[in-house]
Amino acid sequence: MKKVQPRTLPGFMELLPNEQIVFNDIKEKIQKSYERFGFLPLDTPIIEDAEVLLAKAGGETEKQIYRFNKGENDLALRFDLTVPLAKYVSEYYGELSFPFKRYQIGKVYRGEKAQAGRYREFYQCDVDIIGDGELSIIHDAEIPSIIYTTFKELGFEKFTIHINNRKILNGIFDEIGSTDKSTDILRIIDKIEKIGAEKVQEELTELGIAKNEIETIMNFIKISGTNTEKIETLRQLGIKSEIFNTGLNELEQVTKLIKVCGVPEKNFEIDLTIARGLDYYTGTVYETFLDDYKKLGSVCSGGRYENLAEYYTDKRLPGVGISIGLTRFFYQARKEGLIKSEKTSISKVLVLPMTDNLEKCMEIASKLRNAKINTEIYLEDKKIKSKFKYADKLNIPFAVVIGDDEIANDKVTLKNMTTGEQETLPIEEVINRILIEE
Amino acid sequence: MKKVQPRTLPGFMELLPNEQIVFNDIKEKIQKSYERFGFLPLDTPIIEDAEVLLAKAGGETEKQIYRFNKGENDLALRFDLTVPLAKYVSEYYGELSFPFKRYQIGKVYRGEKAQAGRYREFYQCDVDIIGDGELSIIHDAEIPSIIYTTFKELGFEKFTIHINNRKILNGIFDEIGSTDKSTDILRIIDKIEKIGAEKVQEELTELGIAKNEIETIMNFIKISGTNTEKIETLRQLGIKSEIFNTGLNELEQVTKLIKVCGVPEKNFEIDLTIARGLDYYTGTVYETFLDDYKKLGSVCSGGRYENLAEYYTDKRLPGVGISIGLTRFFYQARKEGLIKSEKTSISKVLVLPMTDNLEKCMEIASKLRNAKINTEIYLEDKKIKSKFKYADKLNIPFAVVIGDDEIANDKVTLKNMTTGEQETLPIEEVINRILIEE
């Protein structure tokens, strides 16, 4: 028979089982953290009607979209979880309770140029809180505590949540009279970590911003000090713009409340350089950096938007949310050796029958499983060495060996695969020992 | 702004949060059951190279496939989890340990005709055990214990796993000299539950099977009695066909071992009418029926195949596996009122601040979360009635009310939302009470 070369498309992450176990462990920890704050699960389709999905999209995103026809239908694969959320909230508005807090963890699709660390299929892990007409700013302060809890749960200690407020930036442009170019200016400022201050100035000049205006902008984004000092310096700029002062008040309030929400001061800071390129953010914005691995870029970002679903509904639906790009994060963190998952196997126990009395072996496996211990039984007719090698390769921590001697004494032999120690014990004792280890 | 009608494509399941909670609970129980037996997780891409995905497919399946171009690539969405498994095992053969036991729970895509209960995007929950060159038949007997454990875990008691062996059927055709038509005959027999014996005879006649041969077939599938009696009757047919006798020996062995694997006799039976239409099954086949809801069809099916990946590799990779079509099952079971999930909310507690001391409220929410209790804090400025209504609509079982009086006494008011009872207690006591309830 002619063979087809088995292969996986470039840009699609496919893991070996031992890596998948770790990936799933991380995904589950993110999910548990989100649920800890009471977010409800959603699972919207991956395929949507192209007209619905692309109601708002444009530019780069549209080019990247997987769009195709099936019969007479013009279909597209979702490229994020925010547009499906907007659709969902508009579609089921009458049946939801507000504030509507939902999380969604799922794959999204973008036909990016294939290169290391860039994925065409990747997981996003989103939480959003959507208000009906209005949404208290306290939620803006709750978001960092969700980021904090999640990254602590993932085993990280040294990370900083950067916050800013888009109104402050817009207010500055208002003041210098460049409101029409604000989106472009924000996009340039956003790159300062990557390209440096000089290049930012250059690009602003190219954009046609006057020298003294660039100076105002550069002075503004250079403001340093503690959070309180930054707020103080901003106040002292004496900017009249109403939007600026609204933003400043919001930032001050959010900064205070973040502490109240239990995030230690060392884990968050005001960062006037972050803008988040996306034009739907209108207030607080977030980025999160691992202190010792800033080059990874932001590992969790988001912000406040005034109107989630204006393309679908007249209802005003303000919201605030964040997203973790899990696939890229996993790729990068693994490369840097940052992933310390204690979970390395599915099975806790490999039962090794060394007898023809399979019934007894199955009975023992059942007892282990009934005690909620993941248990595999080796059923192939192989040499004992191969059987232990299988346990080793799969990182299974315990082997339970059952021979005729053990059965005669109503015991089993427990072998600790890490230390090599072994001991013959009643099964109940084995179960206790394994449960204690957990 | 012109609005786009927010809508979800027909044939795509999208649930309200309270339904999604139940769906996820079922999905998680299936996953936990599969892991209990030591199956390793896989998460292959949803998009594959069309040439790879369709190496084997043909007929009905190919017509249903979502296939499209992106740039110069000919792509397709997976239509099951078996083909991706075949690809995966061939691609990573050298890095896997055999027998390779994997589970995969994920969405698959088929452009079926839209009708109630038929989905174009649906979850499959698969387990397979793949051998390298050979795979002990004991695994065929282990599979029913996985089905049994899973459906018990889902809260079902009255269900029956039907088993048969394709070799027996093939042996019969061998005997009557209709081997070339065996696939067609199997497909017709497979429909007997749906269309009845008479219609089966009709269709066999149309196929050109002689009257006496039809009689042999009908007599064969009518064999009744206990499992032991059925085996006995089959022996007494005196059929010489080697394949028939191999199949009969396998079926006898598997039937005995199923008991050894701990599945009660009332939960499985030999059923000579099941054939599983798919032509890659070569030995044991399984279907599972809910005793009181046979009309739902098989809720979990599968079987043994001699060669998983012949389209990709020269390695002989026999396997045995099963699949639950979760989306369809959920749809049907919900319609019949068969779903009894104890999980109805994500949050256990809704914290209701009735004070300006938000810090204290956040502190209490953190204490609850640190005790692994999912806790939401209501942050909108609404009337107390609205706040309780929110808890009610989301089925949150407890409210923790914090007012200035409570803070002064270092206590909180715990309200049981089901009984309406409320009591003022220290937070530690509240935590204990809630943990005991679980």
Select from B1, B13, B40 the residue whose CB has the most chain A CBs within 10 Å, as the one to mutate to test that interface: B40
Mean pLDDT of the region B260-277: 89
Q: Which residue of A has its CA nearest to B348?
A: A38
Higher pLDDT, A132 or A216: A132
Choosing from A261, A282, A310, the residue where a domain stops is A261
Whether residue B16 and residue A95 make contact (CB cut-off 8 A), yes or no, is: yes
Q: Is the Cβ–Cβ distance between B401 and B411 less than 8 Å? A: no
Q: Is residue A277 assigned to a domain?
A: no
Question: Using CB atoms, which residue from B40, B47, B310 is nearest to A346?
Answer: B40
pLDDT digits (tens, 9 = 90+) for A1-10: 789 999 999 9
E strand map for B58-217: 67-70, 73-77, 100-109, 121-130, 159-165
Write out chain A residues lying below 8 Å of B62, CB-based: none
Q: ipTM, 2 decimals? A: 0.94
Higher pLDDT, A193 or B8: B8
CA B141, CA B129: separation in Å to the nearest integer?
Answer: 12
Q: Please report which confidence band the pLDDT of residue B368 belongs to, taking 50, 70 and 90 as the band edges.
A: very high
Whether residue B9 and residue A49 make contact (CB cut-off 8 A), yes or no, is: yes
Check whether the bond before A99 is cis (ω within 30° of 0).
Answer: yes
pLDDT digits (tens, 9 = 90+) for B247-259: 999 999 999 999 9
Q: How many beta carbons lie within 10 A of that of residue A264, not counting itself?
A: 9
CA B126, CA B124: separation in Å to the nearest integer?
Answer: 6
Residues 254-293 of B with CB under 8 A from A: 257, 260-262
pLDDT digits (tens, 9 = 90+) for A260-282: 888 999 999 999 988 776 678 99
Mean pLDDT of the region A196-225: 89
Q: Is residue B9 assigned to a domain?
A: no
CA A288, CA A146: separation in Å to the nearest integer?
Answer: 12
Check whether the bond before B99 is cis (ω within 30° of 0).
Answer: yes
CA angle B253–B254–B256, rounded 5-degree value = 65
Q: Is residue B10 assigned to a domain?
A: no
Q: Which residue of A has its CA nearest to B90?
A: A6
A133 close contact with B: CB closer than 8 A: no
Q: How high is the pLDDT of residue B76?
A: 96
pLDDT digits (tens, 9 = 90+) for B194-205: 888 899 999 999
DSSP, residue by residue, A175-194 = HHT-GGGHHHHHHHHTTHHH
Question: Using CB atoms, which residue from A41, A75, A309 is nearest to B21?
Answer: A41
Is A146 found in the same domain as A181? no
Q: Is the pLDDT of residue A143 over 70?
A: yes
Q: How high is the pLDDT of residue B93?
A: 98
Q: Is residue B1 assigned to a domain?
A: no
Is B196 found in the same domain as B312? yes
Write out chain A residues lying below 8 Å of B379, CB-based: 99, 136, 138-139, 142
Q: Please report which confidence band the pLDDT of residue A343 belongs to, taking 50, 70 and 90 as the band edges.
A: confident
Question: Using CB atoms, which residue from A41, A138, A311 is nearest to B20?
Answer: A41
Write out chain B residues lying below 8 Å of A71, CB-based: 111
Write out chain A residues lying below 8 Å of B71, CB-based: 111
Select from A37, A48, A69, A341 the residue whose CB has the most chain B CBs within 10 Å, as the one to mutate to test that interface: A37
Q: What is the DSSP letter of A327?
A: H
Q: Is the pLDDT of residue A94 over 80?
A: yes
Whether residue A99 and residue B380 make contact (CB cut-off 8 A), yes or no, is: yes
Distance from CA of A379 to the nearest CA of B (A): 7
Q: How high is the pLDDT of residue B60?
A: 63
A425 close contact with B: CB closer than 8 A: no
Residues whose CB falls within 8 Å of the CB of residue B65, separated by 6 or more in sequence, listed in order: B53, B54, B57, B76, B77, B79, B109, B110, B111
Domains: count for chain A: 3
pLDDT digits (tens, 9 = 90+) for A391-420: 999 999 999 999 999 999 999 999 999 999
CA angle A154–B126–A399, rounded 5-degree value = 65
Give B70's strand partners.
B73
Is A296 found in the same domain as A218? no
A347 close contact with B: CB closer than 8 A: yes
Is A51 found in the same domain as A104? yes
Distance from CA of A238 to the nearest CA of B (A): 31
Whether residue B44 and residue A138 make contact (CB cut-off 8 A), yes or no, is: no
Is B134 found in the same domain as B184? yes
CA B300, CA B140: separation in Å to the nearest integer?
Answer: 15
Is B311 found in the same domain as B198? yes
Whether residue A91 and residue B52 make contact (CB cut-off 8 A), yes or no, is: no
Please give the residue range of the domain that contains residue B270.
Answer: 17-335
Mean pLDDT of the region A364-370: 94
Q: How high is the pLDDT of residue B170?
A: 86
Whether residue B262 and residue A309 make contact (CB cut-off 8 A), yes or no, is: no
Q: Is the pLDDT of residue B91 over 90?
A: yes
> What percent of chain A stands above pLDDT 70?
98
Question: Using CB atoms, which residue from A21, A38, A393 is nearest to B346?
Answer: A38
Distance from CA of B216 to the nearest CA of A (A): 35
Choosing from B309, B335, B361, the residue where a domain stops is B335
Give the pair of three-digit tokens for residue A110. Answer: 């973008």
Q: Is residue A268 assigned to a domain?
A: no
**pTM of this prediction?**
0.95
Mean pLDDT of the region B394-416: 96
CA B228, CA B248: separation in Å to the nearest integer?
Answer: 12
Is B278 found in the same domain as B207? yes
Q: How high is the pLDDT of residue A192?
A: 84
CA B12, CA A408: separation in Å to the nearest integer?
Answer: 57
CA A226, CA B300: separation in Å to the nearest integer?
Answer: 61
Is B366 found in the same domain as B327? no
Residues 367-386 of B with CB under 8 A from A: 369, 372, 374-377, 379-381
Is A101 found in the same domain as A22? yes
Looking at residue B424, which CATH number applies to its domain? 3.40.50.800
- A-B interface: how many C-beta pairs under 8 angstroms? 246
Choosing from A307, A328, A344, the residue where a domain stops is A344
B237 close contact with A: CB closer than 8 A: no
Residue B431: which of B407, B408, B416, B414 has the closest Cα?
Answer: B414
B131 close contact with A: CB closer than 8 A: yes
Mean pLDDT of chain A: 93
Is B399 found in the same domain as B329? no
Residues 59-88 of A with CB under 8 A from B: 66, 68-71, 73, 75, 86-88
Question: Using CB atoms, which residue from A14, A24, A262 is nearest to B362?
Answer: A262
Q: How high is the pLDDT of residue A183?
A: 77
Q: Please report which confidence band the pLDDT of residue B71 belongs to, taking 50, 70 and 90 as the band edges.
A: confident
Q: Is residue B341 assigned to a domain?
A: no
Strand bridging mode B301-305 / A284-290: unpaired
Whether residue B6 and residue A393 make contact (CB cut-off 8 A), yes or no, is: no
Backbone φ and ψ of A117, nearest 5° = 80, -5
Give me the helix-helix angle, A211-221 and A182-189, nearest 10°. Answer: 50
Q: Is the pLDDT of residue B266 over 70?
A: yes
Q: Please report which confidence band the pLDDT of residue B18 belongs to, taking 50, 70 and 90 as the band edges.
A: very high
Q: Please report which confidence band the pLDDT of residue A91 belongs to, taking 50, 70 and 90 as the band edges.
A: very high
Q: Is the Cβ–Cβ distance between B402 and B374 less than 8 Å? A: no
Question: Using CB atoms, which residue from A8, A346, A363 is nearest to B45?
Answer: A8
Is B387 found in the same domain as B330? no
Residue in the block written with tokens 């036991």: B101
Is A119 found in the same domain as A19? yes
> What percent of chain B stands above pLDDT 70?
98
Q: Please report which confidence band the pLDDT of residue B188 belongs to, taking 50, 70 and 90 as the band edges.
A: confident
B106 close contact with A: CB closer than 8 A: no
Q: Is residue B192 assigned to a domain?
A: yes
Q: Is residue A15 assigned to a domain?
A: yes
CA A109, CA A324: separation in Å to the nearest integer?
Answer: 15
CA A215, CA B97: separation in Å to the nearest integer?
Answer: 63
Q: How high is the pLDDT of residue A82?
A: 96
